[in-house]
Structure 1
């Protein structure tokens, strides 16, 4: 029997990072933290690439910067950095499809289909985010922590605004404003609310989140309509607005009313999507009524119903009829005789051809207010639509029955004709093989 005393001095983590054996990564120096770059991020790496014992490619001392999505030199680098941490160094064994492929690198004597080895260090990276689907935000100076400006925060920023050709159209070393209050363009506001204190970012903002089709008239340089603009921005400082749980009843009501008014403002400007967001946020301030007196609860109920009714109108304007109906349902759960909710739900039903439900809502609305002009007009429109729909259905069924009768008549004629054709074929001696074998004598030659 033998006994061994074993001490583990060190180890290296080896991983098949893609699961197909194409890139085997061995960590030789661990990185910092837990975060890893993502596909849109821009990374800085240092590397050396070997074929056999020969070095065939290397970065400069400062390394090379590139977008992961675009890649650099060989596919293995972009694939590998997504599995690395800042400061990490790894050795890579690279299959041909992730190296120079079948083409090889003739000037360095690398034949097609060659396996490679590489040493790769992830020096740093710049995070790139997409906000609202089309705003590209690249963080060039990152900070620790997690706190960011909320809606209604008082912020201080330094910024430079540039056109696509690099000309500066606006700049400010210390702009103070309140977020989510239309004091700056929407795209810049969204970017600032994604930053931490002391961070610097470069944002590319398309026209729908910048100055739109109208552009911006400037004293020196104007922004043309439909222009995509770039902002270099630094968040100098900020103070967040109170969250709802930090407010008393009066403060929550004031915040809700302010958001409701903002929603109305956007509705008038036909910014229906933004209006819906404002109404929804207003309601959130009023959802928890534990702090309210009975009078305050009744007031909150009225504001919530007004916001839902307004949301329903936005849904009708944008043809989001299902969403409009749901908003009306919420109102009618609290007040079954709410005239606006009945009327707008009826409009939603009409749009989706649910005529019976629409008729019931309009009848209920007219029971509440027999003189309601809008409900009367909508009922007249509904009756016309129902009549037209019924006529169309009658014609469709009539045509269907006519086609069925035609098929039946043709089938009867065919049945009468078939025996006569069979007799004629037998008399002539069928040779085509299309008749039944019995008719052709059972398949036996005479």
Structure 2
């Protein structure tokens, strides 16, 4: 694939009709189709259409190989070509060309480019592009799951299909687990395809059924095959729980009807209309009738899992949402499923019918309004916490902390400035942020995220080392992560500040009891001598 700069200096190019930016440019080995007109001394002498050849293989005169390599599909250009480049190829294209040293003008339209690629570089699988509708779309990644149409035929009988399957789910990360013949070749081809692209793979026998053949499919031993595949769509996967600041892999969203938009409702108070199409645990149907829900995302009308998923859906999107069997993710809230901890994952099918216009992801641009907005979101979080919706509270508190950095960098500037220029607003923002961090620690303790609880308290104690609530919750977090020595240290720090603090004394006793219990269990498991060495 070359550009105009790759033409010899004595061949002049003038673009008559420019191709669109995304148009395909041919490379050596591709099949191309052109229309042409030949002009000599301002007199048209020859023209033709439907001329097909393989680029760079010497099937046409040298001039055409050189000049077509600089074009894109849909482009029309004029080339002034010296006589020295007019040799090669069939005589019919050179019949009326001069042999007296005159330049020749070719006006050429590149009608089609059929890309041909040796996928593995050994001639074992040759890919031929048949149709490409979406030149802008993304290509699948190795971790994606895609939907394809698939057809299989013998190379010797291309019109007689041995197998045809439509709307097949193909897992890129586990191509060996797919049941299609030539899965390795299909995986390789898909990595460079875009949605609505249709290709044909000519697969040598060792990339197909091999020396044994495949009697069930009607493939004799040592037989080459043709595989035609169309990339229908790329499923979009997203960890919706992680986007809500929850633990990873709790709520995984797979878009099966995708929408080319970045706009999502989020949790900041946008109304939405969502349809719950089904819910399954294995093959057991948990929701037998469709449920239409009109709600404000994040208000808690739906269960935590659906709140998290809907916050990340686009208008018109249909998604399968796979949720861990943690009871608090499924109830309370629509559809309020009673799921036991030992059950399998729950798979919801949702359709985002409509939603309002969400506020800016970065929050209000005015600092006073930003502070008011964050105070309101903190209030929403506190309401959720009181109602026992700890994950929804965790998301709101996390959102407030994320929206209140101390510094920002204005667009186009290389230096950072204070977000809140007013000292009173700055102080209120820091106090609000630390309150939310302490509340996050309380949520984390409820969710058995002991390490996270201690981390949130660390942030508060950096600015306020004498904060008793932060010391106490950090001690609880350290106890939960079996860091007994540091937990006792935090309790002692509290008692130095408040000698009469009963909660700190009780917690210190609990820490020592659990430390003794752990030591006893280690002795039973490993023996006293080994435990003493480890200590």
- State the SS of the aligned residue for 1:64: strand
Q: How far off its partner does 1:330 sit?
A: 1.2
Match of 1:417 in 2: none
Q: How far off its partner does 1:246 sit?
A: 2.7
Structure 1 stretches of 5 or more lacking a match?
404-446
Q: CA offsets per residue over residues 39-67 of structure 1, 9 Å max, x none?
A: 6545242645223355452677xx72210
- State the SS of the aligned residue for 2:137: coil
8 Å CA contact 1:37–1:43 kept in 2: the answer is no
Map 1:239-388 to 2 at 5 A: 239-268=357-386, 272-288=390-406, 290-351=419-480, 354=483, 357-381=486-510
Q: Distance in 1 between matches of 2:333 and 2:440?
A: 31
8 Å CA contact 1:359–1:382 kept in 2: the answer is yes
- State the SS of the aligned residue for 1:127: strand
Q: In the alignment, does 2:137 pair up with 1:34?
A: yes
- State the SS of the aligned residue for 1:233: strand
- State the SS of the aligned residue for 1:125: strand
1:92 to 201, 206, 220: 201
| Residues matched between the structures, number | 389
Match of 1:57 in 2: 161
Structure holding more helix per residue = 1
Q: How far off its partner does 1:261 sit?
A: 3.5
Q: In the alignment, does 2:267 pair up with 1:138?
A: no
Q: In the alignment, does 2:186 pair up with 1:68?
A: no
Structure 2 stretches of 5 or more lacking a match?
1-10, 12-60, 70-112, 172-177, 242-248, 407-417
Q: Distance in 1 between matches of 2:458 and 2:286?
A: 52
8 Å CA contact 2:302–2:334 kept in 1: the answer is no
Q: In the alignment, does 2:351 pair up with 1:238?
A: no
Q: Distance in 2 between matches of 1:293 and 1:258?
A: 20
1:124 to 217, 232, 235: 232
8 Å CA contact 2:198–2:230 kept in 1: the answer is yes
- CA distance change for structure 1 residues 348 and 23 in 2, over 3 Å: closer, same or farther? same
Q: Distance in 1 between matches of 2:273 and 2:446?
A: 37
Q: CA offsets per residue over residues 321-380 of structure 1, 9 Å max, x none?
A: 432222222111111211111223334445556555444433332232222111233344
Q: Distance in 2 between matches of 1:372 and 1:5?
A: 92
8 Å CA contact 1:71–1:77 kept in 2: the answer is no
Q: Distance in 2 between matches of 1:239 and 1:191?
A: 17
1:201 to 318, 321, 344: 318
Structure holding more strand per residue = 2
8 Å CA contact 1:135–1:205 kept in 2: the answer is yes
8 Å CA contact 1:207–1:213 kept in 2: the answer is no
Match of 1:151 in 2: 267
Q: Distance in 1 between matches of 2:295 and 2:137?
A: 35
Q: Distance in 2 between matches of 1:272 and 1:217?
A: 17
Q: Distance in 2 between matches of 1:191 and 1:398?
A: 50
8 Å CA contact 2:397–2:440 kept in 1: the answer is yes
- CA distance change for structure 1 residues 230 and 309 in 2, over 3 Å: closer, same or farther? closer
Match of 1:114 in 2: 223
- CA distance change for structure 1 residues 209 and 151 in 2, over 3 Å: closer, same or farther? farther
8 Å CA contact 1:204–1:229 kept in 2: the answer is yes
* Greater mean deviation of Cα atoms: 285-294 or 332-341: 285-294
- State the SS of the aligned residue for 1:68: strand
Q: CA offsets per residue over residues 276-316 of structure 1, 9 Å max, x none?
A: 33322111222236235222222222222222222223444
Match of 1:81 in 2: 190
Match of 2:64 in 1: 7
8 Å CA contact 2:273–2:355 kept in 1: the answer is yes
Q: CA offsets per residue over residues 2-47 of structure 1, 9 Å max, x none?
A: x985223466544344577653323344442231246654524264
Match of 2:107 in 1: none
- Considering only CA atoms, is the larger Rg found in Structure 1 or Structure 2? 1
Match of 1:444 in 2: none
Q: How far off its partner does 1:273 sit?
A: 4.7
Q: Distance in 2 between matches of 1:262 and 1:279?
A: 9
Q: Distance in 1 between matches of 2:217 and 2:419?
A: 75
Q: Distance in 2 between matches of 1:137 and 1:209?
A: 19
- CA distance change for structure 1 residues 247 and 192 in 2, over 3 Å: closer, same or farther? same
Q: How far off its partner does 1:233 sit?
A: 1.6
Q: CA offsets per residue over residues 164-191 of structure 1, 9 Å max, x none?
A: 559753444xx54322222334444444
- State the SS of the aligned residue for 2:404: helix
- State the SS of the aligned residue for 1:184: coil
Map 1:13-28 to 2 at 5 A: 13-17=115-119, 22-28=124-130
8 Å CA contact 1:263–1:274 kept in 2: the answer is yes
